[in-house]
Amino acid sequence: MPAASKPPRLRVVIDTNVWVSGLTFRGRPGEVLDLVWKSHLEAYISPFILMELERTLLKDFNWSKKQVSIALKRIAAKTTLIHPTIKLAVITAKDDDNRILECAVEGLVSYLISGDKKHLLPLKEYQGIRILSPAEFVELVRSQEVFSV
């Protein structure tokens, strides 16, 4: 009897704000990161997101360089690093958010998970990529019963 095949892992890009919130405060962003740690998601990340994450944790949250290094190594071990070659100018109010979209488009992901209520979440979708908050994403995963959250 053939073994039951596992469903394909969901391809996602996680915005810097979700990484920061999940690492620092837990909550729904922490649940999203748990899915990454358990290898339930195929998460893509770019050098821009890593640099923004490092800068934010050091400057805004007073993490030590050692704490940041440990977190970045853990993230690197569980994500796929891509170097986007496309250049987008979809969001004029905050160009940095275009770097997040570039990673999502280049990674051919299905979901971009973001807490950015001002620029990214209002898009709802971009080139077939659904843009969801951490709470929306966790609810979607639970409703599909793909795996336990």
Rounded average pLDDT over 7-29: 93
Is the pTM here over 0.85, yes or no? yes
In percent, the amount of the chain with pLDDT more than 70 equals 91
DSSP 112-149: EE---TTTTGGG-EETTEEEE-HHHHHHHHHHHTSS--
> How many whole angstroms separate alpha carbon 129 and alpha carbon 62?
33
71-106 pLDDT per residue, tens:
999 999 999 999 999 999 999 899 999 999 999 999
Predicted pLDDT of residue 78: 97
Distance CA 33, CA 138 (A): 11
Place of tokens 């649940």: 31
The domains found in the chain, sorted by start residue, are: 10-144 (3.40.50.1010)
Using only C-alpha atoms, the chain has a radius of gyration, in whole angstroms, of 15
Beta pairing partners, 13 = 44, 112
Closest CA relative to residue 12, chosen from 50, 52, 39: 39
Q: How confident is the model over 40-57, as pLDDT tens digits?
A: 999 999 999 999 999 999
Taken as a whole, the chain contains a residue count of 149
CA separation for the pair 36, 64 (Å, rounded): 23
